[in-house]
Amino acid sequence: MENSEAKRIDVLEHMEHLKPIFEQSYNFIVITTPELEEPGPEFIYVNSAFTKATGYSAEELKGKTPRILQGEKSDRSVLDRLKKELKEGKFFQGHTINYRKDGSEYWVEWNISPIYNKSGELSCYFCVQHDITKQMDIQKETQRLLEIEIKNRIAQEQMLIQQSKMAIMGEMIGVIAHQWQQPLSVANLLADSLIELELDDANIAKKEIDDTSHRIMEQVKFMSDTIYDFKNFFKVDRKKSPFLIVEEIEKVLKLVKPLIYKFKIDVKIEEKKRNIYALGHANEFKQVMINFISNVKDAYEERGIKDRVFKIVVDSDEKQTYIELSDKAGGIPQNLLPQKIFEAYVSTKGDKGSGIGMNITKTIIENNMNGTICVKNIGEGATFFITLPKFK
Ligand SMILES: Nc1ncnc2c1ncn2[C@@H]1O[C@H](COP(=O)(O)OP(=O)(O)OP(=O)(O)O)[C@@H](O)[C@H]1O
Ligand SMILES: [Mg+2]
């Protein structure tokens, strides 16, 4: 202790002429004895910036250790590093929470330099501190705002993902509803025919009921396949398979036979070569055919044309496969040519049309089957030209 007191006096004497400079400093200046073990170093000198900031007077700090400034929230790891580095004779720098005399907290950043006397002995620690509470508050506030901002952005992103999912779902439901219209009206026609059935001959009636029920079930099966097909419609990389074009067209014609019959449309298929295949999804190709038939029927009905033909020609050469579909229903309105007809939501049918039929058709032919589609008014009606890559 005596040794420490002697050191204290020695240091004080040596720094006497520096005191006026220390007193002017805005930083806290603290000089302590160099003891590191318990009870720790003692204050030798504190400047008035320090006493003002901490509430302790120089007088009451006499014989005390700077450890009285530490408390519950002081960072133990920083204090352990301090001890370690000073023991190794190094310069220390760090920051942590300290406590004023009244118990209030402040953030302090400080550095400590070991001071040696002429004979090379460690005589004291010289420590410069400053209050960084404001900076830490700003930092904490910035961090808080940043976290809020990140949270908001994540929430917003999730909302956008959700919205785009909803949009895709909406589109999907629109497509399914569109493709359900024809099989639904066929099922309706078939159900009607059951109601009107004469029940005179029990044997005939039983057969009719069985047949018609079977055909209604076919429509229902087709509708349920449609849900499945269009659920996958927007997925890329679906595995394609080859199918016989004319075979699929015939399946559709069989399916919508009651409709073709009701609207008295004479459908002709001309197969220029046998067994022409296409690569894609047969069910989607069927949906394409349904869309054409539906539009042809609408055009004939709207325009009250009696002579109703719909001709489908399938051909191929070395490189490509061709499908031509022509009607005599008055042609496509001029303002929809050459491409507008294929845009989504373009319709001349008011409430009766959603304008997605030809858009779905183009998507299936061009995106899903790598083909092309265009339309021209030829003769008394429209002719659609489809080309598909040749499947060998
Ligand atoms: N064969 C055709 N003859 C005359 N006009 C046609 C023919 N096919 C299509 N159109 C015209 O093209 C428009 C767009 O056809 P699209 O099938 O895309 O929509 P829509 O039939 O009006 O409605 P929906 O979405 O219910 O099919 C039609 O409104 C019609 O004016
Ligand atoms: Mg249509």
Average the pLDDT over 103-121 and give the result: 93
How far, in Å, CA of 50 to CA of 57, rounded?
9
Q: Is the CB of 4 under 6 A from ligand 1?
A: no
The alpha carbon torsion through 384, 390, 391, 392 (nearest 10 deg) reads: 150
Whether a cis peptide bond, with omega within 30° of 0, leads into 338 is yes
Question: What pLDDT is attached to residue 37?
Answer: 87
- The CA 58 to ligand 2 mean position distance, Å, reads 94
Backbone angles phi, psi at 169, to 5 degrees: -65, -40
Place of tokens 């009696």: 306
Residue 33 Cα to chain centre, angstroms: 62
Ligand number nearest CA of 336 is 1
- The CA 179 to ligand 2 mean position distance, Å, reads 10
- Atom 12 of ligand 1, residue of closest alpha carbon: 341
Q: Is the CB of 355 under 6 A from ligand 1?
A: yes
Q: Confidence class of residue 3 from pLDDT cuts 50, 70 and 90?
A: low
CATH topology for the 237-392 domain: Heat Shock Protein 90 (3.30.565)
pLDDT in tens, 37-68: 888 899 999 999 999 999 999 999 999 999 99
Q: Confidence class of residue 14 from pLDDT cuts 50, 70 and 90?
A: confident
DSSP state of 340: G
Question: What pLDDT is attached to residue 231?
Answer: 80
Q: Confidence class of residue 20 from pLDDT cuts 50, 70 and 90?
A: very high
Question: What pLDDT is attached to residue 198?
Answer: 72
Average the pLDDT over 116-130 and give the result: 91
Residue 80 pLDDT exceeds 80? yes
- The CA 105 to ligand 1 mean position distance, Å, reads 77
Residue 358 Cα to chain centre, angstroms: 29
pLDDT in tens, 207-261: 888 999 999 999 999 999 999 888 877 676 788 999 999 999 999 999 999 999 9
- The CA 295 to ligand 1 mean position distance, Å, reads 5
CB 112 within 8 A of CB 127: yes
- The CA 151 to ligand 1 mean position distance, Å, reads 47
Question: What pLDDT is attached to residue 2?
Answer: 53
Q: Is the CB of 293 under 6 A from ligand 1?
A: no
The alpha carbon torsion through 130, 136, 139, 140 (nearest 10 deg) reads: 180
Work out which ligand 1 atom sits closest to the CA atom of 295: 8
Q: Is the CB of 348 under 6 A from ligand 1?
A: yes
Sheet containing 122-131: order of strands? 43-46, 28-32, 122-131, 105-116, 92-99
pLDDT in tens, 268-324: 999 999 999 999 999 999 999 999 999 999 999 999 999 999 999 999 999 999 999
Q: Is the CB of 299 under 6 A from ligand 1?
A: yes
Place of tokens 């439901």: 173
Question: What pLDDT is attached to residue 1?
Answer: 47
Question: What pLDDT is attached to residue 279?
Answer: 95
The pTM of the full predicted model, rounded to 2 decimals, is 0.68
- Atom 11 of ligand 1, residue of closest alpha carbon: 332
Question: What pLDDT is attached to residue 236?
Answer: 66
Work out which ligand 1 atom sits closest to the CA atom of 384: 1
The alpha carbon torsion through 155, 161, 167, 168 (nearest 10 deg) reads: -160
Ligand number nearest CA of 334 is 1
pLDDT in tens, 134-179: 999 999 999 999 999 999 999 999 999 999 888 888 888 888 999 9
Residue 4 pLDDT exceeds 80? no
Backbone angles phi, psi at 331, to 5 degrees: 90, 165
Question: Where does the chain hold its CATH 3.30.450.20 domain(s)?
Answer: 2-131
Average pLDDT of the chain?
92
Structure tokens at 368: 């899903």
CA angle 375/379/382 to nearest 5° reads 25
Question: What pLDDT is attached to residue 387?
Answer: 98
Q: Is the CB of 346 under 6 A from ligand 1?
A: yes
- The CA 286 to ligand 1 mean position distance, Å, reads 17
**91 or 9: which carries more pLDDT confidence?**
91
Question: Where does the chain hold its CATH 3.30.565.10 domain(s)?
Answer: 237-392
Backbone angles phi, psi at 370, to 5 degrees: 55, 35
Mutate to test the pocket of ligand 1, among 341, 362, 373 (most ligand atoms within 8 A of CB): 341
Lowest mean pLDDT among 36-40, 85-89, 98-102, 235-239: 235-239
Average the pLDDT over 337-359 and give the result: 94
How far, in Å, CA of 63 to CA of 70, rounded?
16
We find that the CATH architecture of domain 2-131 is 2-Layer Sandwich (3.30)
Average the pLDDT over 106-114 and give the result: 96
Residue 22 pLDDT exceeds 60? yes
Q: Is the CB of 349 under 6 A from ligand 1?
A: yes
- The CA 231 to ligand 2 mean position distance, Å, reads 20
